[in-house]
Amino acid sequence: MTEQQAEDLARAYAIEGPALELGTVVIDTEPFPSAAVRMPLSMLNRHGLVAGATGTGKTKTLQLMAEQMSAAGIPVFLADIKGDVSGVAAPGEPSDRVAKRAEQTATVWVPTGYPAEFLALGGLGTGIPVRATMTSFGPVLLSKVLGLNDTQESSLGLVFHFAD
């Protein structure tokens, strides 16, 4: 990507008013901070997709969005089976890596904790107990809760297919 293309993107994402700060354009592995990628809060009632290969930052992107929505007073429900974003409840730890990234992207980073309530399906684990039917769980979520292996999960999927 050329600097001209980055400037074109910066103009395209120049948004007035409250918005989520999603990041900056990157040119040849170098962030281009003047080309901020922003999403107006008024657009959040639409469908979206965060996709990418393993390790590309999908979970961090969703966490960043959830944190900013919470800070803007927008209620957030985030289903997090693996617990990857449960850390939003506590302020982050400053580090050299975080400071360098904030400097590269011209972002002011302040460690912040956000309000969080944790739910426990079926009353198992820590959190507010949530009662649910087997059908509402579905085979995938039920497999995760029960800690099933791939073969067991596949068999449970067949049970749901024929019994549901």
According to the model, what pLDDT value does residue 120 have?
Answer: 80
**pLDDT classification of 114: cutoffs 50, 70, 90:** very high
According to the model, what pLDDT value does residue 63 have?
Answer: 93
Instruction: Output phi, psi for 87, to 5 deg.
Output: -70, -5
Cα separation of 82 and 34, whole Å? Answer: 35
pTM recorded for the entire structure: 0.72
The answer, yes or no, to whether residue 164 has pLDDT greater than 70, is no
Mean pLDDT for the chain overall: 87
More confident residue, 131 or 96: 96
